[in-house]
Amino acid sequence: MDQEKRKLEQEQHEKPMSMVAMVAVTGLFGGLLWSSLAQFAHYLNFTDVRVNVLLEPWAFGAWKKGWIGTVFSIIALGIISIGVAFVYYWTMRKVKSMWGGAIFGLLLFLLVFYVLNPVFPGIKPISDLSRNTLVTSVCFYLLYGVFVGYSISFEENELQYREKNNTAAAPQETE
Amino acid sequence: MDKMDRKLPILEKLHDVEAYMKKRIGLGDSFDLGVRKLTILKKNVHFYYVNGLCDTSFIVQIVKELVEINDNEKMSSKLQDIVENRITHQSVSPVKTMDEMVDQVLSGLIAILVEGEGIALIVDVRSYPGRQPMEPDTEKVVRGSRDGFVENIIVNTALTRRRIRDERLRFEMMKVGERSKTDVAIAYIKDIASPNLVDVVKQEVKSIEIDGIAMGDKTIEEFIVKQGYNPYPLVRYTERADVAASHLLEGHVLLYVDTSPSVIITPTTYFHHLQHAEEYRQSAGVGTMVKWVRFLGVLASLILLPLWFLLLSNPDLLPDNLSFIGPNKHSNIPVLLQIFFADIGIEFLRMAAIHTPTPLSTAMGLIAAVLIGQIAIDVGLFVPEVILYVSVSAIGTYATPSYELSIANKIGRLFLLVVTAIFDVPGFVIGLTVWLLLLARIKSLNTPYLWPFLPFVPKAFKEILIRTSVPGSSIRPSILHSRNRQRQPSKS
List per-residue pLDDT tens for chain B, 492 residues long: 455 566 889 998 999 999 999 998 888 899 999 999 999 888 899 999 998 888 889 999 999 998 998 888 887 788 888 889 888 888 899 999 998 899 899 988 999 999 988 899 999 998 888 888 888 888 888 888 888 999 999 999 999 999 999 999 999 999 999 889 999 999 999 988 999 999 999 999 999 999 988 888 999 999 998 888 899 999 999 999 999 999 999 899 999 999 999 999 989 999 999 999 888 888 899 999 999 999 999 999 999 999 999 998 888 888 888 888 887 777 788 889 999 988 888 888 888 888 888 888 888 888 877 777 788 888 888 888 888 899 899 999 999 999 999 999 999 999 999 999 999 999 999 999 999 999 999 998 889 999 889 889 988 898 889 888 877 666 788 888 887 777 766 554
| Residue type at position A56 | E
Partner residue facing B429 (CB), from A135, A161, A173: A135
- Using CA atoms, how far apart are residues B37 and B22, in angstroms rounded to an integer? 15
Q: Which of B445, B23, B52, B70 is nearest to B251 (CA)?
A: B445
B170 touches chain A (CB under 8 A): no
Q: What distance in Å separates residue A108's CA from the closest CA in chain B?
A: 17
- Using CA atoms, how far apart are residues B457 and B344, in angstroms rounded to an integer? 38
A106 touches chain B (CB under 8 A): no
Could you tell me if B193 and B172 are in contact, meaning their C-beta atoms sit under 8 angstroms apart? no
The region, left, alpha or beta by phi > 0 then psi within -120 to 50, assigned to residue A167 is: alpha
How many pairs of residues across A and B have Cβ atoms under 8 Å apart?
95
| Residue type at position A153 | S
In 10 A of CB B401, how many CB atoms?
Answer: 20
A174 CB neighbours in chain B (<8 A) are none
Q: Which residue of A has its CA nearest to B441?
A: A98
Q: What distance in Å separates residue B153's CA from the closest CA in chain A?
A: 30
